[in-house]
Amino acid sequence: MKNHVVHISLFSAFILSFVLGQINAQNSVVVTATAEIVKPLSIEKLSDLSFGFILVDSDGGTATFDPDGNIVLTGGLVFINGGINPIQASFQISGRPETGINIELPQEVTLLHSDGYEMVLDNFYSDSGSNPVLDAQGKLDFILYSTLNVSSSQESGSYSASFPVIITYD
């Protein structure tokens, strides 16, 4: 019996030291939760894209803009001064200051004539660079560039298309 009491006492002492050790080993830390509600991005179109009046000869060609905003024609295209001046599409994005964004442009857009004829607009890019960032005021202005492909047999008349410019936070 005495042997059992010694074993029980040793066992009780072991359990008591384990429990007391666990109590003394516990620590706590305070966690702070935060959240920041970010202003949604907005985009304003400052100007639409217009290539103006173009005369086509038997070669066809392309029309685009250089970085200074001048229209550049290749092949057999000739610019005709008239009532519509060529202008690049331009935009202003607003959002959270100094935050990276993505600008998604189409791969290709088909411009349609009222009689069903088509012209392709492709090679879209912007002057915002590959990793655009909003400035300290949360703004970014950018210009859209693309190439208008005019075939040698392009029918005369007005061609148009609408297409999205999509912006998201990076």
pLDDT digits (tens, 9 = 90+) for 37-94: 988 999 999 999 999 999 998 889 999 999 888 999 999 999 888 778 899 999 999 9
Q: Which domain holds residue 59?
A: 42-169
In a domain, 7, yes or no: no
pLDDT for 24 equals 60
pLDDT value of residue 57: 84
User: Is 105 within a domain?
Assistant: yes
- The per-residue pLDDT of the chain, averaged, comes to 89
Note the pLDDT of residue 82.
78
Q: Percent of the chain, pLDDT > 90?
A: 74
The reply to whether 15 falls in a domain is no
Please check whether residue 16 lies inside any domain of the structure: no
Q: How far apart are CA 6 and CA 151, in angstroms?
A: 104
pLDDT at 11: 60
Which tops the pLDDT comparison, 2 or 122?
122
- Cβ atoms of 96 and 169 within 8 Å: the answer is yes
Percent of the chain with pLDDT over 70: 85
Q: How far apart are CA 51 and CA 60, in angstroms?
A: 15
Domain count of the chain?
1
Within-domain flag for 19: no
pLDDT value at position 123? 96
pLDDT band at 137 (very low <50, low <70, confident <90, very high): very high
Average pLDDT over residues 138-143: 98
User: Residue 29: is its pLDDT beyond 90?
Assistant: yes
Is 28 within the bounds of a domain? no
More confident residue, 107 or 24: 107
Element (H, E) at 10: helix 2-25
Q: Rounded to two decimals, what is the model's pTM?
A: 0.78
81 lies in some domain: yes
With respect to residue 32, please indicate whether it lies within any of the assigned structural domains.
Answer: no
- What secondary structure does DSSP assign to 75-108, as a single string? TTEEEE-SSS--B-EEEEEE-STT-BEEEE--SE
